[in-house]
Structure 1
Amino acid sequence: MAELNRTVLYDLHVSLKAKMVPFAGYEMPVQYSLGVMKEHLHTRSAAGLFDVSHMGQVILRPKSGDVADAQRALERLVPVSVLGLKEGRQRYALFTNEKGGILDDLMVAHYGDHLMLVVNAATKHDDITHLTTHLSELCSVEPVNDRALVALQGPAAEAALARLVPGVAEMRFMDVAKFDHEGAELWVSRSGYTGEDGFEISVPNDAAQGFAEALIEMEEVAPIGLGARDSLRLEAGLCLYGSDIDTTTTPVEAALEWAIQKVRRTGGARAGGFPGDTRILNDLAEGTARRRVGLLPEGRAPMRAGTLLFDAEDASEPVGEVTSGAFGPSLERPVSMGYVPTPLSDAGTKLWGEVRGKRLPVAVADMPFRPATYKR
């Protein structure tokens, strides 16, 4: 077994008595002393601090000096409008392959003279190779290896972070900006993956532990592990790459067509021109055979990833499958998401999931399961 990497905050996790587990090639905290349930609820009611330093941070810098050239170049690899992204703003994007499948989902931020990308941990090396292979003539692709990344999420996140960095209170959802904190330059986005208001903060490695400790010392802030991060994003209806989306799913099958702006669609000024455009534009026009949907199982038993779905209690062949599932502490009930045939994708449709050899009822539901609280 390959040796696991550690983030710069590893010693802090150990000192906080975190339970460490392997995740995406790293040794990461799955929970702390509060436990997954209480960590989840604390994030919803106050503020939680997450170490997400395992994710990839990449700078895309135009060789011409004109950031619009980097924006145009990146549009070769994603179906979203990068040229439409204004300075000081961030946007969700997708790397696609020639068949229209999803190589990764990512965030793209415009910092004036360069773009900043945050990609998933398990795919970051492939993503960097992908960027370098296709864009290196126009842009320098610069992996950021000297910075940690933390996420502060929850209704008290603004008040907590503003004690250290007052300017963040003026930011709105998907704004990005740079701030100074005790001589360290912070790269801050008002975003996250919990459905809560909050921030992701890129911090120089040598300042990361002190910065994290200063936040955790605040009464409303608690350290939060991967367990609660997963249940939070699931309640928010957000995809986990490798589970809910992958190279076998297209953006439209995954119900992510909202991320494809009109200008990149058929009839738009910059329509197509990205990998898999024929398949994806056809999906947008004609629809797909299957769709990602929310699922609400009856009772208390979660329907986890891999649970087969049937259109009748006595049906012999499954029609779909759960891709993520857990107990939703905020909702006090299990929640799942998965893929079903499009004719069965309307909210309220009754299906059956096979759990430990038994068929249990489950209803298709709209997502998010819990409304987002982003500061717009």
Structure 2
Amino acid sequence: MNAAAPLLKTPLHALHLELGARMVPFAGYDMPVQYPHGLMAEHLHTRAAAGLFDVSHMGQLRLEGPDAAAALESLLPQDVIGLGLHRQRYGLLLDEAGGILDDLMFVNRGEDLFLIVNGACKAADIAWIVQHIGTRCRITPMPEQALLALQGPKAAEALARLLPGVGQLVFMTGSPFTWQGHALYITRSGYTGEDGFEISLPGEAAEAFARALLAQPEVGPIGLGARNSLRLEAGLCLYGNDIDTTTTPAQAALNWAIQKVRRHGGARAGGFPGAARVLDELDDPASLPRKRVALVGLERVPVREHTELQDTAGQHIGTVTSGLLSPCLNQPIALAYVDLAHAEAGTTVQAIVRGKKVPMQVAAAPFVPHRYHRG
């Protein structure tokens, strides 16, 4: 019997241990779930000041060549060709049935398209991309690159001390920077709902750069636990929980992520995997078998993923995909899929927690307002 593959380590692994992190396996890596102050303190610190996250387990790759944008657009329902220089966009990698293989971010850097994909999906994503468009552009994985996220209302202030000029970026734009002779690429983006930045840099520079950030009075280290609670308060999907190959963009309430030019009637409509189903569902929302919704608890009982949802008559209507007690709101929040008849805001549903019915209400997302810096 083969032993399990040893866990991979990010370039910040020794620093996490030095900082007293509790480490857990995640996407094949040994990753920090929390530091000694604990999840709640880390979450609130990020909302109030600035949190530093190691997200080096995620996949980074670049696509090069004159046909790269058109090639990538053949795999995504997003507008790639029309993306401006140093602009970033959220994308969905779809299979032939319109199911979501992964969600990702991509940036037009001029000389290439720079992609960031989820850590647990990166090997499969790269294989899928190479299989489908490998003859149309050069595809280069970037395992030598680390990735850090600095998030929170004081992130720009802290980062500008190391990189003057970074404050000129606005949400979903990027730019190259140099720090101590190392080439960095920084986007003003993140997955917490706060203002913040994602920083791609050489692995050998990551620890020194992280230490320089942690030396700023606003910045504290943040683990995977708070990363999850922050993104859930922001109403953002986690791949593998809230979206996967069984969910389509319309079912996942990600209609906003598909630009008009790629929809029926648009100049470059369709032409991506699963396009017929995806576009039909966008055109006819009433045809959806289920839909992702946000839920708030009416009692202070946490409701976790995989919890069954019933209507007031006791009939099964759906399942929770992410859920916890919101640190900022001090009430249970969740994302869930429910049948269309129960997806309307204000609808009361029952979560079945250890055999007991816990009332929840369909609400508007995000649970905590986004504070992106749009200029």
When normalised by structure 2's length, the TM-score is: 0.97
* Alignment correspondent of 1:227: 225
What is the distance in 1 between the residues matched to 2:279 and 2:202? Answer: 41
* Alignment correspondent of 1:319: 317
User: 1:55-107 CA deviation, whole Å, 9 max, x = no partner?
Assistant: 00000111xxx3xx211110110001001210111000000011110000000
- The letter of the residue matching 2:282 is L
* Alignment correspondent of 1:291: 291
* Alignment correspondent of 1:248: 246
Deviation at 1:363?
A: 0.3
What is the distance in 2 between the residues matched to 1:22 and 1:374? Answer: 31
Alignment pair present for 1:216 and 2:214: yes
* Alignment correspondent of 1:77: 75
What is the distance in 1 between the residues matched to 2:166 and 2:340? Answer: 42
**Conserved 8 A contact 1:302-1:336:** no
* Alignment correspondent of 1:40: 43
**Conserved 8 A contact 2:176-2:183:** yes
What is the distance in 2 between the residues matched to 1:114 and 1:219? Answer: 36
Mapping of 1:160-309 within 5 angstroms? 160-287=158-285, 288-309=288-309
- The letter of the residue matching 1:262 is K
* Alignment correspondent of 2:22: 19
**Conserved 8 A contact 1:352-1:359:** yes
Q: How many residues align?
A: 369
Deviation at 1:289?
A: 2.1
* Alignment correspondent of 2:120: 122
What is the distance in 1 between the residues matched to 2:299 and 2:41? Answer: 21
Match of 2:13 among 10, 15, 33: 10
What is the distance in 2 between the residues matched to 1:250 and 1:120? Answer: 18
Q: What SS is found at the alignment partner of 2:316? A: coil
**Conserved 8 A contact 2:301-2:358:** no
Q: What SS is found at the alignment partner of 2:178? A: strand
- The letter of the residue matching 2:139 is V
Deviation at 1:347?
A: 1.0
What is the distance in 2 between the residues matched to 1:106 and 1:37? Answer: 27
**Conserved 8 A contact 2:144-2:202:** yes
* Alignment correspondent of 1:56: 59
**Conserved 8 A contact 2:308-2:320:** yes
Structure 2 unaligned blocks of 5 or more: none
Alignment pair present for 1:375 and 2:373: yes
Q: What SS is found at the alignment partner of 1:131? A: helix
What is the distance in 2 between the residues matched to 1:251 and 1:205? Answer: 34
* Alignment correspondent of 1:329: 327
Structure 1 residue runs of 4 or more that deviate by more than 3 Å after TM superposition: none
- The letter of the residue matching 1:206 is E
* Alignment correspondent of 1:97: 95
Deviation at 1:145?
A: 1.3
User: 1:15-43 CA deviation, whole Å, 9 max, x = no partner?
Assistant: 00000001111100000011000000000
Deviation at 1:2?
A: 2.3
What is the distance in 1 between the residues matched to 2:152 and 2:256? Answer: 25
- The letter of the residue matching 1:308 is E
What is the distance in 1 between the residues matched to 2:62 and 2:22? Answer: 32
**Conserved 8 A contact 2:304-2:323:** yes
Identical-pair percentage? 56
* Alignment correspondent of 1:362: 360
User: 1:106-133 CA deviation, whole Å, 9 max, x = no partner?
Assistant: 0010101100000000000001001111
Superposed CA RMSD in Å reads 0.7
